[in-house]
Amino acid sequence: MDREKAVKRAEELVAKMTVEEAASQLRYDSPAIERLGIPEYNWWNETLHGVARAGTATSFPQAIGLGATFDQELLGEVGEICGNEGRAKYNEYKAQEDRDIYKGLTFWSPNVNLFRDPRWGRGQETYGEDPVLISRLAVPFIEGLQGDGEYMKTAACAKHFVVHSGPEAVRHQFNAICSDKDLNETYLPAFEACVREAKVESVMGAYNRTNGEPCCGHSYLKDIIRDKWQFEGHIVSDCWAIRDFHENHKVTKTIEESAALALKKGCDLNCGCTYIHLMKAYNQGLVSEKDIRTAAVRLFTTRFILGMFNETEFDGLTYLDVETKENLAVAKRASDESIVLLKNDGILPIDKNRNKVIAVIGPNADSRACLIGNYYGTSSEYITALEGIRSAAGDDMRILYSEGCDLSLTKPDNLSREYHRLAEAKAVMNRSDLVILVIGLNENLEGEEGDEGNQYKSGDKPDLLLPKTQRKLIDTVIASGKPFITVVMAGSALDLSVLNDKSSAVLQAWYPGARGGQSIGDILFGKVNPSGKLPVTFYKDTNDLPDFEDYSMKGRTYRYLETEPLYPFGFGLIYGNIDITSAGFEGEDPKNSGLTVKVDVSNTGDIAASEVIQVYMKADDPNEVKNTRLAAFTRVDLGAGETGSVEIPVSAESFKVVNDAGERVVPEGKVDIYVGFGQPDELTERLTGKKAYSFTV
């Protein structure tokens, strides 16, 4: 149903409601209006990396892992699967008259916040630290989720608007100070792409204030989202965020004033309980009947576009369409592509002829929790790293296992148990030819403030260090003298300096999905060639990072970094070798009309491989970022000895720089373009042994 028709039907329906009935529909748990044939509806649903919290679903890598794929086509397929499974569940639950939370068609995903600081616990929910990467992945995910049929398959939501990326502990009273330049250069682009390009149906506000105004009652909702970007969908608050207006931000004095501020600024739907008091605000003259009905029309427009009151082309989707063989194949491909090879001295792929006994050690080796990250669904099968390694190794190798230590030590009385675990790890290593150390975090150690499983209330990390228990285990493995490979499962950057020095190989596996252990095993034994790239910078430590509460981009992310990191954004090794043999461009007036980068590539290795070609630029303009910035990227797959050519469009908009007033302007001087398999920096060149092609326009 086109929007114009849906708006008309919504206006006609809302006109039949009393003011009180219309106000009741602005809550996430909207009650039924039986006299008008309107069933109850709960707007809250999640599908960050697979349909979450509603039973069985295909489990994909956590969003940060999807970011590491640098694969736009894949993200479209993931979105399509999430949309199909979400609609299938809706159909089945609706048939059972179950309209509870997590049963609807409005999904509060994706999270397009920028991962500006590695300490942020929720950073795992994002696609990384670069606005171009986030935008290029979010758009196809949203398009896949929403579909392009007569009716919208499911409704996506870009969150959390805006200038939000921790700290979690004080998010309910925090005020993020942001310059016009940083706002328009860093924090807004992904949201703009979601609205303008993907036509996302919903935008969610954040908990914090930005430049003094609470995000769910901010002037930006109207001035930027609706007026500047011409957004036609609805705006929803983060959960219980409007209550913060008077309880924590202290910008209002009463709950009625908070409800009125949010509604009048453009927040149509309240996740929380504050809009229960809208009628009191109405009776006090704080909001008008028009304010209430305008929001209700927007919400029912979405419901009509989704076909909730009609038969749709999606009505035939059932539980038989959930976690299908085809869907699981896409999830496997996503896991394969998400894993980043950070170091390899030649030990990988594992040689079965030289290594007959392998010791798999570490708290994440046989853990299900580290597979899934937060906002997850239920899988019908879980494959841990240990199980994946055992499967890939086959029957001709012996796999020994020891947990080695707790993930983290939270109780002093566990010290004795830790001693005995280390003793077992030593015994296992003594009998092995090779050690695979599987360490990292899980959602209990990093995540959202107040998450049920969090051992620490805030969910943020105090630093980049692994827990002390694991650092002791690492020292024990190093002291054994055995060659070892490290697999890190975490949703963010950690201090891997010691492992970079001592481990023969390092894999960053993120939270790879419920069956992600299979991808880990396949990559370690060479059944799959690693191809992931870092969507975030891996710093050596936090000493040179600005204060966590400082939202200025100075000194943050690869675009403004002032010191050399441990591993750079965009970096990732492969097995074998793919080279760029030539690179150039077509376009007569690139800064005003864009250009097309043309790249010839060759696989000179003896195995098939995938690479990510990355295009960076830097303008000779005082408004340019400190370093280079990503402009475009694409994946290329080549068989052994195969050559190929790719064309990568770079829009005129990509050339623009942002001045201090927040305006996007054509750069004054020349622009250098770089094409390679990572950033055009000395560290990437040193780690990969490859130099980026460059040309000037």
Q: How far apart are CA 367 and CA 14, in angstroms?
A: 50
Would the CA dihedral through 248, 254, 256, 257 be positive or negative? negative
Q: How far apart are CA 320 and CA 61, in angstroms?
A: 22
Q: How far apart are CA 441 and CA 453, in angstroms?
A: 13
User: Do 327 and 50 touch, CB atoms closer than 8 A?
Assistant: no
Alpha helices in 52-182 (DSSP H): 63-68, 72-95, 131-146, 180-182
Inter-axis angle of helices 131-146 and 72-95, nearest 10 = 40
Active-site choice (238, 321, 336, 495): 238
Q: Per 3-state DSSP, what percentage of the chain is helix, strand, and coil (rounded to 5)? A: 35, 20, 45
Inter-axis angle of helices 131-146 and 189-196, nearest 10 = 30
- Nearby residues of 640 by Cβ (< 8 Å), 6 or more positions away: 576, 603, 605, 606, 607, 608
How many Å is the Cα radius of gyration of the chain?
25
User: Do 208 and 648 touch, CB atoms closer than 8 A?
Assistant: no
User: Do 228 and 188 touch, CB atoms closer than 8 A?
Assistant: no
- Nearby residues of 390 by Cβ (< 8 Å), 6 or more positions away: 360, 399, 521
Residue 457, CA distances (Å) to 444, 446, 449, 454, 492 in order: 10, 10, 6, 6, 18
Alpha helices in 183-247 (DSSP H): 189-196, 220, 244-247
User: Do 528 and 522 touch, CB atoms closer than 8 A?
Assistant: yes
Pairing of strands 671-676, 609-619: antiparallel
Tokens 């000037």, located at residue: 696
Q: Looking at the DSSP assignment, which residues form a beta bridge with residue 46?
A: 52
Question: Side chain identity at 433, as an amino acid letter?
Answer: D
Residue 638, CA distances (Å) to 500, 529, 564, 604, 612 in order: 29, 11, 32, 10, 11
Burial, 642: exposed, middle or buried (Cβ in 10 Å; 0-12, 13-18, 19+)? Answer: middle
Tokens 């970094």, located at residue: 561
Select from 382, 365, 390 the least CA-distant residue to 331. Answer: 382
Q: How far apart are CA 107 and CA 286, in angstroms?
A: 31
Structure tokens at 535: 């969507």
Q: How far apart are CA 62 and CA 166, in angstroms?
A: 18
Q: How far apart are CA 530 and CA 336, in angstroms?
A: 7
Q: How far apart are CA 56 and CA 59, in angstroms?
A: 9
Is 238 designated active site? yes
Q: How far apart are CA 532 and CA 511, in angstroms?
A: 13
User: Do 381 and 518 touch, CB atoms closer than 8 A?
Assistant: no
Residues annotated catalytic, as ranges: 238
